[in-house]
Amino acid sequence: MTQASPAKVPAHIAIIMDGNGRWARERGLPRIEGHRAGAETVQRVIEACRQAGVRYLTLYAFSTENWRRPITEVAQLMKLLTTSLGKHLAQLQEHRIRLHAIGELERLPMPVRRALQSAMRATAQNDAGVLTLALSYGSRAEIVAAVRQAATRAMAGTLRIEDITEESFASLLQTAGMPDPDLIIRTANEMRLSNFLLWQASYAELWVTPTLWPDFGEEDFRRAMADYAARTRRFGGVV
Ligand code: IPE
Ligand code: IPE
Ligand code: MG
């Protein structure tokens, strides 16, 4: 197979990592085992993106709505997050990848926040790529927070209404400074966005696979990239 031309490699891939629970259930295991296996997939996918030349990878790890899950699952997930962050750090440093996080981070338990802060600080100068974790993230909450900021500035007289544009509004979102995702991958066959990057996904290409997240591997990644490269993005125009 010939290598895709650089223009056909997405600059930004965002992934809705779904199906951990189903993976565990199929094996008669507790759900947390699916999340553990899913955390290992994360390391493989970071590496696959790096090798393919994808500069931005955003992973939906925990949604605002996921707080509704049973308290024991939430607690186990938070613990897993803390330990995984420690494990991922060496990989990020080795490849000069900067860690970033979006979401209502203040809702996360202290140990997770501390692990996040120290990993973000340690990788702050890395410039080969950006890994963004969406944690306690919900797109509607993100948009409402941006609206509040704009309104506050407008009332204080530091922002003119006519200066609220798509660009200036996007700069108030937590993804400010990042390109919009080119490709959104969702595993476990669900055909929905589940409150993920609603503004930013306007023109993203969507790619859904029945593969459950813990099983997501090189072959799925290669197929997603090949399908993306074969698509025509029109952005409303005529090509
Ligand atoms: C995705 O797997 C992980 C999180 C949402 C935290 P799920 O836990 O949603 O797995 P399913 O959908 O129940 O299979
Ligand atoms: C979306 O998965 C959120 C994450 C992957 C973190 P869910 O499993 O929570 O989504 P729904 O409930 O099926 O829409
Ligand atoms: Mg799910």
Q: Which residues are catalytic?
A: 18, 66
Q: Each residue of 2-45: pLDDT tens digit?
A: 455 666 999 999 999 999 999 999 999 999 999 999 999 999 99
Mutate to test the pocket of ligand 1, among 17, 22, 41 (most ligand atoms within 8 A of CB): 22
Closest listed ligand to the CA of 214:
1
Hey, whose CA ends up nearest to atom 13 of ligand 1? 21
Ligand 2: atom nearest CA of 21 is 8
Tell me which CATH homologous superfamily contains domain 9-137+181-230: Decaprenyl diphosphate synthase-like (3.40.1180.10)
Q: Which two tokens stand for residue 75?
A: 């607690």
C-alpha of residue 127 to centroid of ligand 2, in Å: 30
Give the whole-angstrom CA distance, residue 4 versus residue 115. 37
Residue-range domain boundaries for the chain: 9-137+181-230
Summary mean pLDDT of the chain: 96
Task: Note the pLDDT of residue 4.
Answer: 54
**Could you report the per-residue pLDDT of 154-187, keeping only the tens digit for each?**
999 999 999 999 999 999 999 999 999 999 999 9
Residue 225 pLDDT grade (very low, low, confident, very high; cuts 50, 70, 90): very high
- The arithmetic mean of pLDDT across residues 57-67, rounded, is 98
Determine the pLDDT at residue 239. 81
Tell me how far apart the alpha carbons of residues 226 and 10 are, in angstroms, rounded to a whole number: 11
Strand partners, 59: 15, 133
Each residue of 108-128: pLDDT tens digit? 999 999 999 999 999 999 999
